[in-house]
Amino acid sequence: MLAAALSLGIAAQLVAADISIEIDTDSTAVVAASYQIHGKQDSLYLSLAKLRDQRVEFFHPSTAPQGPYVRESPGLYWIMLAASDEETVGIRYGVHGNLSRIPLAVPDAPAEPGRTQINIRVAGVSPTALLRDGFPRLVREADGSAVARLENLPNFLRIPPQKGQWSVNRISDTGVVLLALCATACWLSWRHALSRRMTV
Amino acid sequence: MRDRVLALVASCIVTSHDSLTGTVMGTTLLAVLVVYFGLILGISVWGAFRTHTEVDFIAAGRSIGPIVGGAVLAASQISAGTVVGTLGRHYLTGVSWWWIWFGVWAGWLTSAFLVAPRLRRFGALTVPDYIAVRFGSEKARALAATLIVVSYTIYLVAQFQASGEIALAVFGIEPLTAMLILVASTAFYTLLGGVRSSSYIEFLQTLIMVTGLALAVPVLLSHAGGVAQSLTFLRSLDSRLLGWYYGPKELLAFGVSFGFSIAAAPYEMTRFYSMRDERTVKRAIGISIGFQLMIGLSVMLLGLLTRVLFPNLASPDQASSIMAFEVLPPLVGALLIVAMLSAIMSTVNSILLVTGASVAHDLYGRFIRPQASQAHLVMVNRLSILVLAFIPIYFALQKYGDVQAIVVAQTKFISSFFFVPVVIGLNWRRGTAAGAFAAMLGGFLACLVWEFTGQGGFPVHGIDAVEVGVVTSLILFVLISRLTRPVPEENLKVFFGDNLKR
């Protein structure tokens, strides 16, 4: 039912989301997210991916005195926040363990194309990280944090690789160049062989 | 469907053109586009120097081999509706949509064994050529040619309209300018080198589509965290994503609809005439299925993986563009965008070739100036392509609306017109001119009524309009043929006897 709610058109829409991630140590990060929802709902459902070698600890959000109701499935946490008169709802949780990916809670209210603004701010990313090779793409701000500005909310943040490491982005772009060079070489060889055959 | 998809994608990326300019992605995309159009220009000019007669222009001098031929058939069929629409469908509904491909391939196999070899053996230039000779009727030729021009021009309207919207959203270009660019680029290489240059350009376009889509898969898979993690997430999100979102009846209806349209699509059938011989045609269809398999698999995986990365998009049609702009690295993303562009251009090109040939070869060359020289007919063909390329622009700018319904209906109408006269006509001697006429008109009307009137169509009866159209067409074809004079034996010998042209 919850899955159906995610895939059907729902009246409520996500207007904005501000997500702040603080990476404290190599194995702990705290995520604080607030969502501005337009259109009243009885309750707001969020999905949070369960990632390998991680544990998530939910904190008591100030906007929902009753606390979140959390249901687990093998691949997801389903979080229900009770209805309130406020348009903005928030959630805080800690992520412990493998921090290569940090899950982000995705509300069942979809974004509005061209209007929704998603801001993800990450503090504690290494200064030598290749921000553009992470997911989503990050940009370094003056205060040293890394920021992503999007129109759709991703399922998680993938921490960018360190400078000097070969990321999948670089490998695939290099692959395109190599393929183009190979194709050109093959075509030139074929033309050369054809012209030699015609000369003979 | 494919054009509504394009329009939705375009409307969802309103600010993309702002983020494009001055970014690595924007610069890379520009560079890739320059190389791409440079290659197209080169191939077009090469083709133009080798095009002198109608056979050169409409059938590439019957020189196309199996690999290029297979790529041509694949490129003509794979439009932006596959790269955008089908990817979005997999995003929303999971793996079960992939079963549609079996309907498509059933259509291709029908063509390979029942249609293509005999058409190629006949050695004509157009599908109306076949209709005229098979049924001994120039009136049937005129009807077929007119139906082709009208229905495919409507199809072009939808392509142009949706392309204009994408160009506005992605590049910040006004729709009229974008359409003129699309016409200038596609019509240019179409009218310059005809089928010869089109074939090699579509070979390039198919390679770009296969490569771009295939390279995107490991990137998304890497970001998603691998196969096991992705499967676990999808299963938890919605168990139907990895199971049966659609029921067998729905899948069968869609598959049959696609299959009928493939088996009797004039813009595919005319390409058989450009291939060397019957064996080449069969091999080309097999190779085409191979290309489609690669593209279909990639599109399915990309749809699912985009769901892992962005679980709740407002519209599934956003999936491919968001993947290209937000996830993929600059070169692979640019390649994917060029792949989408290639898909549009290859389909527009195929449509222009068949409508141009219908006007120049089947209508002008037969009824207005039968004594015209080869050079004259090639010139008329080029002019026809130019005019037919611009006509849809006016209607596309008017945005008469509901592009999706028009395009889907157009596919069904083509199937209802041509499936029976072509497939049954090539395999049953008794089919007559009157039967073919009745089949084309009756099939079309039945499809029209079922689709648009208060019959309720598929949702109520579980029977699609194309099934009604084809069955009606078949009944009329058989009944009227039985009651009318048979086709002269010299016409039938071409298809059923020993007197076969090579």
The pLDDT, as a whole number, for residue B502 is: 38
Which residues 55-84 of A are in CB contact (within 8 Å) with B?
A: 73-76
* Chain A residues whose beta carbon lies within 8 Å of the beta carbon of residue B234: 75
Of A63 and B192, the one with more pLDDT: B192
> Cβ contact (<8 Å) for A152 and B318?
yes
Report the percent of chain B where pLDDT is more than 70.
90
The token pair at B121 is 């053996």
The pLDDT, as a whole number, for residue B247 is: 83
| Nearest chain A residue to B330, by CA | A173
Q: Above 60 in pLDDT, residue A10?
A: no
Least confident of B8-17, B28-37, B202-211, B324-333: B8-17
Is the Cβ of A170 closer than 8 Å to some Cβ of chain B?
yes
A171 contact partners, CB below 8 Å, separation of at least 6: none
Q: Above 50 in pLDDT, residue B18?
A: no
The pLDDT, as a whole number, for residue B344 is: 83
The pLDDT, as a whole number, for residue A86 is: 62
The pLDDT, as a whole number, for residue A17 is: 94
Q: Are B272 and B120 in contact (CB under 8 A)?
A: yes
List the single residue in B13, B225, B239 with the smallest CB-CB distance to A52: B225
* Chain B residues whose beta carbon lies within 8 Å of the beta carbon of residue A132: 24
* Chain B residues whose beta carbon lies within 8 Å of the beta carbon of residue A112: 314
Reported pTM? 0.86
What is each CA distance from B140 to A98, B137, B421, B434, in whole angstroms? 71, 5, 10, 9
Mutation choice for A interface testing from B312, B315, B337 by most A CBs within 10 A: B312
List the single residue in B15, B238, B239 with the smallest CB-CB distance to A114: B15
**What is the DSSP pairing of strand A28-38 with strand A146-150?**
unpaired
Distance from CA of A106 to the nearest CA of B (A): 7
**Residue B457: which pLDDT band, with cuts at 50, 70 and 90?**
low
pLDDT digits (tens, 9 = 90+) for B264-322: 888 888 899 999 999 999 999 999 999 999 999 999 999 999 999 999 998 887 888 88
Number of A–B residue contacts, CB under 8 Å = 115
Give the whole-angstrom CA distance, residue A161 versus residue A141.
18
List the single residue in A51, A168, A179 with the smallest CB-CB distance to B218: A168
**Residue B257: which pLDDT band, with cuts at 50, 70 and 90?**
confident
Give the whole-angstrom CA distance, residue A44 versus residue B434.
64
List the single residue in B15, B232, B237 with the smallest CB-CB distance to A3: B237
List the single residue in B92, B236, B309 with the smallest CB-CB distance to A7: B92
Q: Are A24 and A30 in contact (CB under 8 A)?
A: yes
pLDDT digits (tens, 9 = 90+) for B92-111: 999 998 988 998 899 999 98
Residue A34 bridge partners (DSSP)? A18, A90
pLDDT digits (tens, 9 = 90+) for A118-137: 999 999 888 888 888 889 99
Distance from CA of B12 to the nearest CA of A (A): 5
The pLDDT, as a whole number, for residue B21 is: 36
Nearest CA to B485 out of B434, B420, B423 is that of B434
Q: Above 80 in pLDDT, residue B408?
A: no
For residue A13, the surrounding DSSP H or E stretch is: strand A13-25
| Nearest chain B residue to A15, by CA | B314
* Chain A residues whose beta carbon lies within 8 Å of the beta carbon of residue B13: 113-114
Averaged pLDDT for residues B254-271: 83
**What is the DSSP pairing of strand A117-123 with strand A13-25?**
parallel
The pLDDT, as a whole number, for residue B250 is: 80
Question: What ipTM describes this predicted complex?
Answer: 0.89
B459 contact partners, CB below 8 Å, separation of at least 6: none
| Nearest chain A residue to B333, by CA | A173
> Cβ contact (<8 Å) for A155 and B233?
yes
The token pair at B36 is 């791409």
Q: Above 60 in pLDDT, residue B20?
A: no
Q: Above 80 in pLDDT, residue B458?
A: no
Tell me the residue length of chain B: 502
**Residue B170: which pLDDT band, with cuts at 50, 70 and 90?**
low
Quick check: helix, strand or coil at residue A10? coil
> Cβ contact (<8 Å) for B229 and A113?
no
Give the whole-angstrom CA distance, residue B380 versus residue B231.
56
Averaged pLDDT for residues B123-127: 85
Least confident of A122-131, B65-74, B191-200, B447-456: B447-456
**Residue B227: which pLDDT band, with cuts at 50, 70 and 90?**
very high
List the single residue in A6, A47, A168 with the smallest CB-CB distance to B222: A168
Which residues 112-131 of A are in CB contact (within 8 Å) with B?
A: 112-114
* Chain A residues whose beta carbon lies within 8 Å of the beta carbon of residue B322: 152
| Nearest chain A residue to B317, by CA | A113
Least confident of A24-28, A85-89, A112-116, B419-423: A85-89
Residue A55 corresponds to which amino acid? R
